Structure 1
Amino acid sequence: MTLTVNGKAMQVLPGTTLQQLMVSLSATGRGSAAAVDGVVAPRSRWESLELRAGQQVEILTATQGG
C-alpha cells in the first residue's frame, strides 16, 4: 500500500504500524515525533496504530544546534 511520508510516496506492507514504519526509517530515538493525517501520534500509540493506504505521515526529529 502507498503512504505519503514527509511529502514522498512510500510503499509499505498492509498492516504496517507506525512503530514499524519509524523503525524502518531509523526514527525511533529520543526527539522523534510523528503525525498521521495532521494529528500528532503519541509514542505510546505507535505500536498499535495501524496505518492505512493514502495516509499522510510526517516524521519530525529534534536537533541540537545554535
Structure 2
Amino acid sequence: MRVSVNGEQRELADGSTVADVVGTAVGDANGARGIAVAVDGEVVRRGHWPEVVVADGAEVEILTAVQGG
C-alpha cells in the first residue's frame, strides 16, 4: 500500500501500524522521544501506535519536538 509520510510517498506492507510507520521513518519507534504522529489530521496517542492500522492512501505526519526559544 502507499501512504504519504510527511509529504513523501512510501510503499508499506498491508496492515502496517503507526508504530511500523514511525519505525521506518525514524528508526526505533519504541525509543523515539519527543515525537507526535497524526494520521489524516487526527493525533494518534503514543500508546495506540502499535494497534492503529494505517489505511492505504493515508497521510501521516510525524512531528519532532525541538528545543529552543
For normalisation by structure 1, the TM-score amounts to 0.91
Cα deviations by residue, 1:33-60 (Å, 9 ceiling, x for unpaired): 1000000000011000011101000000
Equivalent pairs, count: 66
Query: Helix, strand or coil for the counterpart of 1:57?
Result: strand
> 2:52 maps to what in 1?
49
Unaligned runs of 5+ in 2: none
Divergent runs of 4+, >6 A: none
Does residue 61 (structure 1) correspond to residue 64 (structure 2)? The answer is yes
For normalisation by structure 2, the TM-score amounts to 0.87
Query: Helix, strand or coil for the counterpart of 1:24?
Result: helix
RMSD, aligned CA: 1.2
Once the 2 structures are TM-superposed, how far is the Cα of residue 65 of structure 1 from its aligned partner?
A: 2.7
The equivalent position to 2:39 in structure 1, one of 36, 39, 43, is 36
